[in-house]
Structure 1
Amino acid sequence: MDLVSRRTMLAASCFGTLAIAVAAGATTATTPGILANLSTWMDLASVPGASWAMLDGSGAISSGAVGYAKANAVPATPETLFEAASLSKVVLAVAVHDMVREGLIDLDRPVAEHVAFTDDAATRSITPRHLLSHSSGLPNWRDEAGEPLTAAFPPGTRFRYSGEGFVLLGRLVEAVTGQTAAQVVETRVLRPAGMNRSTYGWARGTEPAVAWAHDGGGGVLIDKGPAGYAMRRDAGPPKPVDRWTLGEREKAAVALGKPAMPIFMTPNMAAGLWTTASDYARFLAFAQRYPGLSTKTTRVKGTLDWGLGWGMESNGGRRFAWHWGTNDGVANLFVVDLVSGLAIVVLTNGDAGRKVYERAARTVFAREFDAFAWLK
């Protein structure tokens, strides 16, 4: 038996015991042996807190939390909401695939048929397939008032990671359904997948258990994370943010002195989900019923490609899906073995969280990932 097989068996043996603890309503779970050094890695990297979950091939989930939701003040628990950051993109992608399955969206019809977003002829040829596979040529984010949304190269010809592209994908969902993209995601993904804690934000007067963002030294970023969300929420209408229309999202950004551009708007469908690691593990189990996610579509480099919603790494007969997420003071990762179904999710509330999640992924899968060398 090779090392990978023995590691997989070790992980699987941890799942059963911990899944029972979580199902019984426990608010904490013992970190499995394969992640026994998680708190040590966090301490070395000055990362206050982490939420983790592991999924085995049968769909059993183990999960837990380590450290603090707010440094040296509020302990993290498995119920603490962390910012998903760009892990939000994959959740929207699954909602789109569900709409494709029903014939509501055609992956190869220009988005401009439904959404007026550019005056540039080449940019108007962008399709949902381009957006899902990060081959649209759109920038990651614009931040200057009046800056046009324009493709940097002919859509479909190469890879360029784009948050703007996923916000545009959310606008397509809204144009087709007449609902907000957040409502559509809730109906088609969050509730069916059992992501009962996950949300695009909480109402005024409520204070859920949430993780604060922290800088590289472990200090609280007092204007980011939940405080930053509350500031953006309070600049808009009193109804829940997941019901805000495009016009309301734009007005709230302007009220804060920002241009009416996606990077400043709430909820941001490319990066605005709040979730727990166990909820996200449920999502990963649910997402695998949409094989289009794993259709290699855009060449990245070496062993790396992008599917229609998540990154892919193929090497030595093994195939992995993955995505990372980074906001100010937040760093997250998931990796799924597309053959065995083994998966890990690590959500952290520190700028240096990448050092923690990379170590966790290497340990669980007993391998190096080319994706980590590629990430900037």
Structure 2
Amino acid sequence: MDLSADWVSLLGHLDRNVSSGRLSPDTATVTDLMSSYRVPGVSIAVGHVSGQVWATGYGVTGGETSTPVTAGTAFAACSISKHVAAFGALLLVQEGVLDLDTDVDTYLTSWQLLDRAGRQSRVTVRQLLAHTAGLSDTWYRGYAADRAPSLVQVLEGSGLTTTPPVRATLLPGSRFRYSGSHYSVLQQLVADATGTPFEDLMRTLVLRPLAMADSSFDRRFPHQRPQLVARGHHVGGTRVPGGWRVQPEAAAAGLWSTPSDLLRLDLEIARAAAGDSTLLGRDLATEMWTPQIAGGGYGLGTEIDDRAGRRRFGHTGLNVGYTCFSYVWPDSGTAVAAMTNSEDGWELLTSIRAAADRRYATDVPAAPLGDVTGRYLLRDDCPIDIAVTDGRLTFAAAGQPPVVLLAEPDGRHLHPGLDLEVRFRESDDGYVLELRQEGVTQTARSQ
């Protein structure tokens, strides 16, 4: 496998329009897209579980003394911080310091989690990791270095904090609601449980063992190596004053890193899920990749795309001034991470990720049409009938007229008029229908 040759070619022919998931004739180079979206710099790394790594940078760091972006340039890792923090928390679970299903109040000593009426609300460590604790809906925008509050002030909503107090506002465990507030509680919890500052704990548990030498949760990190840090840019290319913002909410959004470091983590999780990691056991690694709400797309600190043949796991991120993603495609044993110093970077990153999806997808044989016909039950009030007409599958659900599904070579069947994708997965007692809409997969059993 020649990662360098693969990616030099892929980055020279990125799809401008990635909504279909297919490469269209309208392609552009990575530098063309950077120019189109006014992205000053991007760094990309690709790695394989065998140990091969290829990394490069494009563009400039920005700022008054701008320098070229290299593989060693650090960027704000934004919400990928959650993915790294979750790995560290699971190592504490493995050591017996934490238990996934224990009330967080067992560990918190510096602060207490309350509901809006000031009463204690039972929330577990698992629910924090999975964004199912129902905590305050918050996005952290960061602070100027001389105005950053402490984490406890963020949790209390006091001092110079610009976000509301962290409270339980939904029934814990009832639904998924993504919010950085879950990881602010987790950050305080692991510090209280171990008696160790969060940034020091993560350095010892995660960053050093994985040789993530260019990464840190310490807010002083970018100031200690300013020539090796990419400066953030707002939409339209305006520089972020001071170059970047300080994030006291380190577990949620405060990691500084490089793509090469980030893929080290995702490849280690892939090894762990295969039982080949010396750090994390298979069961806990598998939990990271298991939806914690049925049909959902989030595990423990991990975004999940579980489509057969296109499985990938990891995290995306957006901070003021930065965008990024880090994913592993476990069926091919390959991880890709990319980071930009621009809020306009997501369109570019989406094109890069789509290229990786196409490159690392694996073939899944289509189920024989005659074997999958019949009735499937999505819910008691939502039966789905699958039949074959003139050699093509028809789909009829909950009183809707039947439609002919469009067959794809990879075993998927698409509804001609809806955002709806159908796949059949063989099980011990026949086939299961997987129905995917808006990135969420639901399963229906044959009757």
TM-score range for the pair, normalised by the shorter chain length: 0.7 to 0.9
Aligned match of 1:44: 36
1:274 aligns with 2:256: yes
Query: What SS class does the counterpart of residue 236 from structure 2 fall into?
Result: coil
Task: Decide whether the 8 Å contact of 1:212 with 1:221 is kept in 2.
Answer: yes
Q: CA RMSD in A?
A: 2.9
1:134 aligns with 2:131: yes
Counterpart selection for 1:218 from 237, 246, 249 = 237
In 1, distance between residues paired with 2:80 and 2:51? 20
Counterpart selection for 2:2 from 13, 18, 21 = 13
Letter of the 2:255 partner, please give it.
Answer: L
State the Cα distance separating 1:181 from its structure 2 match: 1.4
1:295 aligns with 2:290: yes
Query: What SS class does the counterpart of residue 307 from structure 1 fall into?
Result: coil
Q: Deviations over 1:248-286 (max 9, x none)?
A: xxxxxxxxxxxxxxxxx5362211111111111112122
State the Cα distance separating 1:140 from its structure 2 match: 3.6
State the Cα distance separating 1:71 from its structure 2 match: 6.2
State the Cα distance separating 1:153 from its structure 2 match: 1.7
In 1, distance between residues paired with 2:182 and 2:210? 25
CA 154–328 in structure 1, closer or farther in 2 if over 3 Å, else same: same
Which of the pair has more CA radius of gyration?
Answer: 2
Unaligned runs of 5+ in 1: 1-11, 19-30, 230-264
In 1, distance between residues paired with 2:326 and 2:103? 30
Task: Decide whether the 8 Å contact of 1:14 with 1:33 is kept in 2.
Answer: no
Letter of the 2:79 partner, please give it.
Answer: S
In 1, distance between residues paired with 2:54 and 2:294? 34
Task: Decide whether the 8 Å contact of 1:313 with 1:320 is kept in 2.
Answer: yes
In 1, distance between residues paired with 2:307 and 2:263? 24
CA 60–140 in structure 1, closer or farther in 2 if over 3 Å, else same: farther
Aligned length in residues? 311
1:117 aligns with 2:112: yes
In 2, distance between residues paired with 1:216 and 1:126? 37
1:55 aligns with 2:47: yes
Counterpart selection for 1:180 from 197, 203, 226 = 197
Q: Deviations over 1:217-243 (max 9, x none)?
A: 223222451xx34xxxxxxxxxxxxxx
Counterpart selection for 1:315 from 298, 301, 307 = 307
Query: What SS class does the counterpart of residue 340 from structure 1 fall into?
Result: coil
Aligned match of 2:298: 306
In 1, distance between residues paired with 2:324 and 2:57? 14
State the Cα distance separating 1:63 from its structure 2 match: 0.7
Written as runs of structure 1 = structure 2, the 5 A alignment for 1:222-371 is 222-225=241-244, 228-229=245-246, 266=248, 268-288=250-270, 289=272, 290-299=285-294, 304-366=296-358
State the Cα distance separating 1:329 from its structure 2 match: 1.4
State the Cα distance separating 1:94 from its structure 2 match: 0.4
Task: Decide whether the 8 Å contact of 2:48 with 2:267 is kept in 1.
Answer: no
Higher normalized helix content (fraction of residues): 1
Letter of the 1:363 partner, please give it.
Answer: A
Q: Deviations over 1:268-306 (max 9, x none)?
A: 221111111111111212233233211221246xxx521
Task: Decide whether the 8 Å contact of 1:51 with 1:64 is kept in 2.
Answer: yes
In 1, distance between residues paired with 2:119 and 2:287? 25
In 1, distance between residues paired with 2:252 and 2:214? 19
In 1, distance between residues paired with 2:269 and 2:126? 17
Normalised TM-score (structure 1): 0.75
In 2, distance between residues paired with 1:47 and 1:205? 25
Task: Decide whether the 8 Å contact of 1:110 with 1:126 is kept in 2.
Answer: yes
Task: Decide whether the 8 Å contact of 1:326 with 1:332 is kept in 2.
Answer: yes
CA 122–33 in structure 1, closer or farther in 2 if over 3 Å, else same: farther
Aligned match of 1:160: 177
1:194 aligns with 2:211: yes
In 1, distance between residues paired with 2:224 and 2:175? 46
Query: What SS class does the counterpart of residue 250 from structure 2 fall into?
Result: coil
Query: What SS class does the counterpart of residue 121 from structure 2 fall into?
Result: helix
State the Cα distance separating 1:58 from its structure 2 match: 2.1
Unaligned runs of 5+ in 2: 13-28, 140-153, 273-284, 362-420, 422-435, 441-447
In 1, distance between residues paired with 2:237 and 2:224? 28
State the Cα distance separating 1:188 from its structure 2 match: 0.8
In 2, distance between residues paired with 1:205 and 1:78? 18
Query: What SS class does the counterpart of residue 305 from structure 1 fall into?
Result: coil
Task: Answer with 177-186 or 56-65: which moved more.
Answer: 56-65
Identity of aligned residues (%): 29
Task: Decide whether the 8 Å contact of 1:42 with 1:356 is kept in 2.
Answer: yes
Aligned match of 2:96: 103
Aligned match of 1:240: none
Task: Decide whether the 8 Å contact of 1:134 with 1:298 is kept in 2.
Answer: no
1:35 aligns with 2:11: yes
Task: Decide whether the 8 Å contact of 2:259 with 2:326 is kept in 1.
Answer: no
In 1, distance between residues paired with 2:38 and 2:225? 29
In 2, distance between residues paired with 1:101 and 1:71? 43
Task: Decide whether the 8 Å contact of 1:48 with 1:349 is kept in 2.
Answer: yes
Normalised TM-score (structure 2): 0.64
Higher normalized strand content (fraction of residues): 2
Q: Deviations over 1:41-77 (max 9, x none)?
A: 1111110101111122423211111101116932111
Q: Deviations over 1:313-334 (max 9, x none)?
A: 1223432113111111111112
Letter of the 1:171 partner, please give it.
Answer: Q
Letter of the 1:282 partner, please give it.
Answer: R
Task: Answer with 165-174 or 330-339: which moved more.
Answer: 330-339
In 2, distance between residues paired with 1:176 and 1:75? 42
Letter of the 2:2 partner, please give it.
Answer: S
Letter of the 2:135 partner, please give it.
Answer: L
